[in-house]
Amino acid sequence: MATSDYHFITRWRIEGTLDEINNILNNALDLPRWWPSVYLAVKILEPAAPGSGGVGQVVGLYTKGWLPYTLKWNFKVTESRHPYGFTLVAEGDFVGRGIWTFEQEGNFVNITYDWKIRADKPLLRNFSWLFKPIFSANHKWAMRQGEQSLKQELLRYRGASRRKITFVPGQLADYEAKGWEAYYQHNWLKFFWLITQVGKQQFKLPLWRAFQAAYYIARASAEWAKKVNRPEMVLAYITRYYRLARRYSGMSFDPNIVAELEEAYWDVHRRLVGKPDKTEFIETLTRLHSALFELTPEQARPSANARVLANNTIDEIIRKETTDLNKSWADLRSYLYECYSSIKEEVGKPREVSPVS
């Protein structure tokens, strides 16, 4: 075996069913949400043909481990043995093939991942004599993280944590729409109070914690509004907000990941104000809603679409482009209600995942 060649065999034994394991591991787009310690970003480069079981699909990935380097690579599904596993070939910063195998044994599924690759990233290839044991340790760490993350994802998949989302869509839409109206009227005290109510309603925060959360969002917004802002400070305050939200809501999202997606939402909103193509905006919000409310992208997209319509309406009001202000406020409330109602409906549904690999 060449010094830059690696062969890893990982074995997990996890309580569950073949269908559960197959559906979760087959949905590549969901990997950054439930296995965030490794998968930073995933994109479908070429879709599979209908009825192929995912064969032919090409997926682009941006990944990391505990070491301070990242890897960009693609994989193509070459074989589907649904629900018993699938085979992929990889190219990019490393080249090779991976074989997932699932076997039901009583109430458990025995999972084997046979990963045979050659590291083509220049740093790893040129200094393989030094990095080989470190790269091997990094891979083993990543797979241990995957095993624990998969166990947690199975709980979410079965709906154990999503049942704790209890907000009332109409009430939440009213608070937020009135909050934007207070912002438009520069009634800052009322605006802050309504932000507090949104936190109480959406994440079940006690009143004093809702005040604290509102303060964090206000500080993040004030920094964001500056012509030259400090993104790291914005992210820090948003992260504090979501840490409080997770603590009291009973939800199990990762506050660091959700905060990064929230900041990305703010960024794309600002960049696309007044532009007709909102595709990037919708996709960014889909990822945010997916991570926050533990939904598949398919489940999260309707609420993301409604949220974009709400933001478009806010932009028209703030920029004084509306010809009927009362109608615009009513439309805003309607879009927000549609957004929260969609989330409320989808969180109670079992996941319907179409094979991605």
- Return d(Cα 276, Cα 312) in angstroms, integer: 10
Confidence of residue 94 (pLDDT cuts 50, 70, 90): confident
Reply yes or no on whether the pLDDT at 271 is more than 70. Answer: yes
- 121 vs 70, more confident: 70
Reply yes or no on whether the pLDDT at 354 is more than 50. Answer: no
Pairing of strands 85-92, 70-80: antiparallel
Reply yes or no on whether the pLDDT at 1 is more than 50. Answer: no
Residue-wise pLDDT tens digits, 175-194: 999 999 998 888 989 999 99
- Return d(Cα 63, Cα 45) in angstroms, integer: 16
Residue-wise pLDDT tens digits, 127-183: 555 567 787 888 899 999 999 999 888 877 776 545 567 789 999 999 999 999 998
Reply yes or no on whether the pLDDT at 324 is more than 80. Answer: yes
- 96 vs 156, more confident: 96
The pLDDT value recorded for residue 138 is 86
Reply yes or no on whether the pLDDT at 124 is more than 80. Answer: no
% of residues, the chain, pLDDT over 70: 92
Confidence of residue 126 (pLDDT cuts 50, 70, 90): low
Alpha-carbon separation of residue 95 from 44, 181, 286 (angstroms) = 18, 55, 31
Reply yes or no on whether the pLDDT at 80 is more than 70. Answer: yes
The pLDDT value recorded for residue 4 is 64
Write down the H helix ranges in the chain: 18-25, 31-34, 122-126, 128-157, 169-184, 188-203, 207-224, 231-249, 255-272, 279-293, 297-318, 325-347
Residue-wise pLDDT tens digits, 234-256: 999 999 999 999 888 878 788 88
Average pLDDT over all residues of the chain: 87
Mean pLDDT, residues 190-213: 92
- Token pair belonging to 141: 């760490």
C-beta atoms surrounding 148 within 10 Å: 12
- Residues in the chain, overall count: 357
The pLDDT value recorded for residue 122 is 62
Domains of the chain: 5-157 (3.30.530.20), 165-347 (no CATH)
